[in-house]
Structure 1
């Protein structure tokens, strides 16, 4: 197997080199960088533009493209008031979002760290990172592995796994923004999502309680619907599926003209965020044009947000005798 070359892409705030690897298979090309174990670029046969948002300049990922394409964790999404119950005690966590919530694992989560490249070849790369006990307030050392692999049909499979030495929480998610035409926004991107329920949220985007029916809501995508229409409320919500499965199941499709993105995963939830706050300003982008609000759609297979504070939600606790595992498959392609 031909080995991919490792390029230097930038320098972390601490002075360490950020590496970039380019993958190719099945007519697709992708680039993965060590910062945040991030998908930096992804292009597929038959389409002349990237299918994700990104930048050729690393500095953008420290500013307007924070978390873009990265692995978010150790707990992706939000934990209300930075507090969680674990084994009968309250765990105090970073409140790194508006001083209120713990977002994406806190101030030093997985998307804000430089991962180590463990192995790679022309079609796949394995990256690793270790989060120390107590970082962000989370107990337990957590060893995490991410494997990106381009498959024979050009689809991208992401396998995430983790082990801990003490009871903790773990909920990892891939935070790429998908778009076939960033300059066009999301008004002509149609989303199909077969979930029957979702989690309504408060002003801090924290779930209010049990899943609610999608009937009659702006969030009903069981039939294809434009992601964003004039007057639509903010879309930054978790869609609820059954308990995690051993096999991949279809979670959603995103269509634009001749192009389709099919997403499968084994997770019990899917967070969809319309990129309402995107604004790259003068930062370089993969298309050469600025990304504004709704330039891309974050499609994030994961567990449900704020799970530690809702015993009725799928459990995100991880114990030392267990292995966390999540598999997602993203397949952008020209429709038949």
Structure 2
């Protein structure tokens, strides 16, 4: 049991570190190839925040733990909104200025309903996985197109600041490879430790995916959002969460569908998905606002965080 806990904690720490190195290397490679910062930010950086969830879901699926990957997707999306933005808004209120973000939020709702439609039959099939991957490609193309159209979007400067400076192509490739290797090794540690803990306490893989693994893999979003907010980059903080949630529902959910398709725990659809949908709608309302610009104030941040605590308590009661 102690070995499993140690593997889980160490694995999550390495997972976060590996994801950062991977994204830094990939972003620097793209920058050295003269790819515009907005495209790097909307694709590599946004996808990078979901890398821990994606690798964990893939490894879990390879081990036959489909529910762990699905729980990681739903739990991470709930944690991203309720925990990450809740804590960040308590530190500093988040105002939404970027038109790119205001366009992304309705798309997040569309992606959420697409995922629900695919999960509604209680089975995650390979066809579902292919549809999700197609949706991912279309979404990345759309984000890139609108990002390049609006040259005055405040996110351009924020994305530029987030890309490492002065890294040579050789160093960029090296960190890219190191990050990828660490991601693979640490994800194996996380999956093994999580499954062992689940078996020890007699709870389902779904519950472990929704809680311990989801919170652990949401740490990059928490760190990035708090850092962005403290630097006055509220758009980047919210953008990390919105982008991560879209990538989770498309890229991460596709992993168990393509690798280990089949039926999943009904609680994921009947309990956890509606809760995730509720938090997503709440994010849409408070971020877009009813005027020109939306804002997540401290009171709303407190409500989001309280809702997350309540959700964890519900899982505790039912587990």
Q: TM-score scaled by structure 1?
A: 0.26
Greater fraction of residues in helix: 2
Greater fraction of residues in strand: 1
Q: TM-score scaled by structure 2?
A: 0.27
